[in-house]
Structure 1
């Protein structure tokens, strides 16, 4: 597998699309083992697409695209302004609140960061924020998105690792709130030092607050309905994805009445592109995974890590650090697909909870979206706002530190992750 790994890294550095890099490097494994039928890569690729549990992935992607075009974003922005507009940090605090509210709508950190950059980026600069600080806040705020259901990373991790998706959905809320608090405190300290003013000078009136909550209530209830459907057994994870699509269309067509024919077709077109890229990546990853299993890579990695420490928390910290380092170069979706089969058996061997580990793993994998040299969310925001990467990197260091501290807290206080899943699912 060493040659396969080296080939994968070389292809990535050459700029080859990740899915092809995974598929081609994985195929090299079979060239090294001529005793294996070369029909296996085709068979495992096709069989991966027949996984019924993965049906939830395209359905939730479709739901996110429909929700984004339902007119709900503007109402959530109004709600975010009412909630945090008077806090020191102004639009930066509003953007963090919007990320928390949008998490259950978009499910994609990259999409959320790009959307907010277009909506709030120039306004933040006009209000006196440095370009680097505005870009860093808009990018790092999207770390909240994958931890709030229905994050696509949760579904991939749960499906690959055979972990309850319902419990993963429930586990995301408290970490998301803690990450929001950590990022908000960091923004407050920076804004206080630089004299950034609040967005609103006066407290919102009761009428304004009620109007904002009424406008955003359908998005707030979205993840709640998902959890209730799973908890009561009304839906399976795949079926709840279909419910999410119907719910999103219902909101856009009948409640907000923003989803006309053109918006509907744009949502379908965006979903086709997103689903195609994600499912193609999942399908080709089966070739890579076949070699990992056959070469007993999980056992080898487990032996190396256990040679350093056999303490569960220590192992989780090492895995988080490795995932973070890998995330500097590899997309979060790829990391989830490739590393879940390697690390999750080790956590189970040590008696760790797969839901607790899942949230640590997802946050660590997601951070790579916001860091150089290949962070997709970072490049999306910086390209939209025309921000130099150096300025972005300098301003993002305190935000990175805040996320790291919260992640370490979650490692050593598993109750913060498991409290809500245990309360809801027992």
Structure 2
């Protein structure tokens, strides 16, 4: 397995697409073991496509793209301005609030960061905010988007680890609020010191709040409907993905009336590209995962960690540190796919709750989108706003620390994460 790991690292360094790096590394493993039938790689990849639970991924991706073309983004921006416009930091606070509201729409941190950079980035800079601070806020605030249901990270983790996706979605809502508070407080402190203006001079009137809520209510209802459908047993995760597509199309056509033929076709084209990238990655990872299990890598890593400590909290801290370091070089989706079979059994062995660990795991993995040298969301924001990565990195340190503090709170206080899933789905 050492040769496989070395090959995988070299492929990443030379810039090979991650899916191919994983697939070729998996083939190398089988070439090292001629005693294994070479039909196994084909069987493993095909078997991944037969996993009914994974059907939720393309359906939710399509639902997000359709909702983005429905005109709902403008309504949510107006609602976010009403909610956070008077806070210290103005448009920076609006950006964080908008990421919360966009969670049930896009589900992608990278897409949210790029969209907000185009919508708010130039105006934030015009209002006196430094370019590095602007890029840091727009990037790190998008961590909230994949945490709000229906986050794809939770779907992948839940499918691989056989963990309740409904409970993960419910835990994601609580986690998103904690992240929102942490980021908003950090932005407020920095903005107060630097004198950054508010986005609104006056408080929103009751009429303005009502109008903004009416405009954004359909997006706000989306995650609530998802949780209710799962809790009441009306839908499975895959079936509710199909419902999400129908819901998004209905909102775009009947409510906002902006989902015409051309935007709908653009949503389908975008969905095909996104689905192809994610599913190709998942399919090729099957060979890699087979080698990991066959070589008993989870047992080796578990033994190494338990040799240091058997305290669940400190084990989770070590895992988070490992994921944060890995996030400097590897995409979040890849880490969730590769590391779930390794770390989840260890946490279960120590008596940890798989939902609690899943939330901590997905948050830590998502942070890699915002850190150099390969953070996809970071590069999207920096390229749009023309901000040097060095300036972005310097200004993002307080935001990184804020998210890290929230991650520690999640680790040491699991009841904070689990109270809503336990309330809605009962303890199991």
Per the TM alignment, residue 104 of structure 1 is displaced from its structure 2 partner at its CA by: 1.1
Q: Residue 80 of structure 1 aligns with which residue?
A: 80
Q: Residue 231 of structure 1 aligns with which residue?
A: 231
Q: Residue 114 of structure 2 aligns with which residue?
A: 114
Q: Residue 265 of structure 1 aligns with which residue?
A: 265
Structure 1: 4+ residue segments shifted above 4 A: none
Distance 1:384 1:307 in 2: 46
Answering whether residue 284 of structure 2 is matched by residue 280 of structure 1, we say: no
Residues matched between the structures, number = 426
Distance 1:111 1:300 in 2: 37
Q: Deviations over 1:106-153 (max 9, x none)?
A: 111111111111111111111111111000000000111121100000
Distance 2:370 2:174 in 1: 21
Answering whether residue 153 of structure 2 is matched by residue 144 of structure 1, we say: no
Distance 1:277 1:143 in 2: 20
> Taking structure 1 as the reference length, what is the TM-score of the superposition?
1.00
Q: Deviations over 1:282-309 (max 9, x none)?
A: 0000010010010011101100110111
Q: Residue 25 of structure 1 aligns with which residue?
A: 25
> Taking structure 2 as the reference length, what is the TM-score of the superposition?
0.99
Q: Deviations over 1:1-43 (max 9, x none)?
A: 1111111010000000000000001111011101111121111
**1:294-309 counterparts in 2 under 5 A?**
294-309=294-309
Distance 1:90 1:302 in 2: 46
Q: Deviations over 1:321-359 (max 9, x none)?
A: 101110110000000000000000001101100000000
Q: Deviations over 1:50-88 (max 9, x none)?
A: 111100000000011011111000000000000010111
Q: Residue 400 of structure 1 aligns with which residue?
A: 400
Distance 2:91 2:78 in 1: 12
SS for the counterpart of 2:105 is helix
Q: Residue 168 of structure 2 aligns with which residue?
A: 168
Q: Residue 211 of structure 2 aligns with which residue?
A: 211
Distance 2:304 2:384 in 1: 42
Query: C-alpha root-mean-square deviation of aligned residues, in Å?
Result: 0.5
Distance 2:376 2:319 in 1: 22
SS for the counterpart of 2:144 is helix
Distance 2:351 2:104 in 1: 31
Q: Residue 198 of structure 2 aligns with which residue?
A: 198
SS for the counterpart of 1:150 is coil
Distance 1:363 1:228 in 2: 24
Per the TM alignment, residue 98 of structure 1 is displaced from its structure 2 partner at its CA by: 0.1
Per the TM alignment, residue 205 of structure 1 is displaced from its structure 2 partner at its CA by: 1.1
Stretches of structure 1 lacking an aligned partner (at least 5 in a row) = none
Distance 1:380 1:309 in 2: 39
Stretches of structure 2 lacking an aligned partner (at least 5 in a row) = none
Answering whether residue 39 of structure 2 is matched by residue 45 of structure 1, we say: no
